[in-house]
Every structure is written in structure tokens, then in C-alpha cells.
Amino acid sequence: MKILSISVLADTFTIAFKRITTLAVFMNSRFLILLLSISLFFLNSVAVAEDAWSPKISENLPNVSETNLAWLAQLGCEWVVLQGTDWVDKDGNGYWTADEIEPIQESCREFGLELYSMMIPLSWLMSPMLDEADKDQKIENVCKSIRTAGELGVQMIEWRWSPDFKWGDDVGYYEVEGRGGAVYKAFDYYRAKDKPPFPELGVITRDEMWDRLLYFSRPVMKAAEGAGVKMSLHPKDPPVKEMRGISRVLTNTEEILEFLEEVDSPANGFTFCQGTVTEMGVDVIDAIRRIGKTGRIHHVHFRTVRGKIPQYVETFIDEGDVDMLEAIKAFKEVNYTGSLVSDHSPRLTVDVEFQKMGRSYSHGYIRALVHAAN
């Protein structure tokens, strides 16, 4: 049986619509007027279906286990954002090879999914961030990995500029009880404010951190641009200016835009972590529009929090400080069509691994918002 495309069906109904209109006027028939209304409804539905905005809804995965891939496919996703990649470089070369990436792609395809993105392991970035002697070799290894990923069709590479990438009470995080007994993560800067510098990291000034970021980024963006890969940098979370001797950069939207200007490449972009931007205390909807109009939002963490630095709580998607419908409308307004994930979720006391129940709740909410925005 031949299946007609939406455009062919639309053309057919357009012709029928015109004929019904003529007959309805001529015969003054209530039945034909009813058919006219049905036809008009169909045409409007087709227009919405063909023009519907649709970001690449996905989720950050720690690995490509069958359980994780089946869950993602059953949620209706088509793309894999592989955030956990420490295990990919099995031989400890310090870079990815085609022999390591291709099996991951094959695992994804068994579930009807495509590997969209990979995260640069933080361990590969420590030398450039700490300005160590072998930093140039480490940077070249990152460039090599980007080129390999690009050749295999991976569209985006995520990264962080965070030598103090920690999530425990040593940097001010703790847990609080949320609705129904769910477990929320909270942050209070004053719990870590007076702690000494980390012995393994020492003290890094703002200028040192910024200069090292630029030194790393220029050759990396050149490699990414040549490979047709988008780079997506996560802003500093939590966005405090300093933590235990480490000065932090990219803690506000002005610095984000400044960095995009300093390293002006179409490959250079940001992960718009809506939770982090909310923590900055800015107008989130305005920030989506300002950064989005540059075309440099390459990835979205669609989550929310209550409060802002120095104190906040990560909440479920429906109880934070941001109007999530207005946020999704803003992403549509700037025609963002890249990957969008729920990212963090509170932990349900009856949850399974990787907070799948909380994230599944977020995904249903996100899909409803996308429908509402269309």
C-alpha cells in the first residue's frame, strides 16, 4: 500500500477544501459547512505538524548499558548524549580512537539511537588547567579525539573548565528533604567559604584561569571547526567567584559572551545550563534570548532551582523559580534545535539507578512544554 506524504495529503485536502467551499456557498448546506470546518481543522493540523519546532530531546548518560539505552529509546528519544566517558579510553592513551568510538555507536544503533555527543574526560584537562609542563601534548590529544569523533559523525563535544569539579560537602553541597520525602541537593557557599585551598590544586587567580582557558581553547576550536564538530562548554557551577583558593570564570552571562568574542569560532559554544544560569540571579528568559541570538548555545540542561548564590536548592522541574513554559518558548524563539536534556533530578526514595524515575518525570514535562510551545 502506498503511503502519501503529509505534503501530498495537504495538497489533496486543499483541492477538496476549495470545492467544498464553493458547494457550501452555492447550496447553503449545513453538512457541507461541517465538512468545510473539518477540512480547515485538518489543514491547520498539517501546518502545525510540518512547522513544529523540535529540539533533540535526550539525556546525559553515564554509559551505554543496555538498561540505559532501552530506557532512553522507550522515552521516545533518538539521540545519546554520553556524559560519562572516563571508561572509553580503555588503553589509557589519553585520546579516543575509532576502535573505541565505533562500538559505542553500534550499541546505540541497536536501540534505534544515534550517538550525538561525548564529554571530554576531566582528567585530560587537568594539565592545561593547572599549567603543567605537558599541557601542549594534552591539548593535541584532545584535538586528535575531536577529529576522530568528527570523522565518525559525532556532532558535539562537551567539556568543563573546572579543576575543582566536586559535588560534596567539601564545596558546600548537602542534601535536604523535598516534597513527599524526596531527596534534594542544596548548596550553601558559607559551608565552604573558610575552608583552606585543596592541597593538590593550590591557589589559582582569575587572570591565570582565564589565560589558560584561552590558551587551551584556540587550538581546540580550530580542530573542532575543521572536523565539523560543535564544542559545548558548561559554565561554572555553582557560579561563585572563588572556591577554596580557586578563582572561577564563566560565572555570569557577561563572561560567557566575552569568551565567545575572544574565541570567535562557529565551533565555540556553550551548554546553557538553566539551573546554573538561574543560580547566577539573572533573568533566565532574557539570557536565553541574548546568548541564543548568537547561535552559540550548543546544548541545553533544562532544569531549575529555588534561590540563587550563595544559597539554593535543586528542585523538580515544576517547582523552581523559572517559568519553564516561557523558557521553552524562548528556546523556540531563537530557533534552538540542538540537544536538550533534563540533567539533574531530585532522588525519589523509591527510584532506580541514575535517578531514572525523576528524569522520566522531567522528560514527560519537557515534551508537554514543547507541545504547548508549538
Does residue 1 form part of some domain? no
Angle between helices 135-151 and 206-227 (to 10 degrees): 30
What is the structure's pLDDT at 355?
86
Does residue 186 form part of some domain? yes
Does residue 307 form part of some domain? yes
**Do β-strands 268-273 and 230-234 pair in parallel, antiparallel, or remain unpaired?**
parallel
List, for residues 318-334, the tens digit of each pLDDT value.
Answer: 999 999 999 999 999 99
Residue 22 shares a structural domain with residue 73? no
What is the structure's pLDDT at 50?
58
List, for residues 288-306, the tens digit of each pLDDT value.
Answer: 999 999 999 999 999 999 9
> DSSP letters along 279-340, please?
HTTS-HHHHHHHHHTTT-EEEEE---EEEETTEEEE--TTSSSS-HHHHHHHHHHTT--SEE
Residue 294 shares a structural domain with residue 356? yes
The CA distance from 115 to 96, in Å, is: 15
Residue 89 · residue 121 · CB < 8 Å:
yes
Residue 192 shares a structural domain with residue 292? yes
pTM > 0.85: yes
The CA distance from 268 to 220, in Å, is: 9
Residue 314 shares a structural domain with residue 197? yes
User: What is the Cβ-side half-sphere exposure of residue 202, based on CA atoms within 13 angstroms?
Assistant: 8
List, for residues 172-189, the tens digit of each pLDDT value.
Answer: 999 999 999 999 999 999
Does residue 149 form part of some domain? yes
Grid look-up 522541574 returns 317
Residue 313: what residue type? V
The CA distance from 347 to 24, in Å, is: 59
Three cell numbers at 218?
Answer: 584556540
Within the chain, strands assigned E span 56-57, 60-61, 79-82, 114-119, 156-160, 173-177, 183-188, 230-234, 242-243, 246-247, 268-273, 297-301, 305-308, 311-314, 339-341
Residue 35 shares a structural domain with residue 84? no
Does residue 336 form part of some domain? yes
List, for residues 52-91, the tens digit of each pLDDT value.
Answer: 999 999 999 999 999 999 999 999 999 999 999 999 999 9
Does residue 25 form part of some domain? yes
Rounded to whole angstroms, what are the CA distances from 344 to 133, 184, 317?
36, 10, 9
Residue 19 shares a structural domain with residue 155? no
Residue 22 shares a structural domain with residue 104? no
Three cell numbers at 347?
Answer: 532522588
Assign 49 a pLDDT band (cuts: 50, 70, 90): low
Instruction: Specify the CATH number for the domain of residue 163.
Output: 3.20.20.150
List, for residues 16-28, the tens digit of each pLDDT value.
Answer: 444 544 544 445 5
Residue 195 · residue 170 · CB < 8 Å:
yes
Residue 130 shares a structural domain with residue 160? yes
List, for residues 306-319, the tens digit of each pLDDT value.
Answer: 999 999 999 999 99
Residue 216 shares a structural domain with residue 315? yes
Residue 208 shares a structural domain with residue 285? yes
Residue 288 shares a structural domain with residue 327? yes
Cβ neighbours for 197, distance < 8 A, ≥ 6 positions apart? 203, 244, 245, 246
Range of the domain at 34: 6-48
Residue 341: is its pLDDT beyond 80? Answer: yes
Tell me how crowded residue 42 is: count the other CB atoms within 10 A of its CB. 16
Residue 22 shares a structural domain with residue 127? no
- Structural domain tally of the chain? 2
Q: What is the mean pLDDT of residues 96-110?
A: 98
Residue 46: is its pLDDT beyond 50? Answer: no
Does residue 191 form part of some domain? yes
Residue 370 · residue 328 · CB < 8 Å:
yes
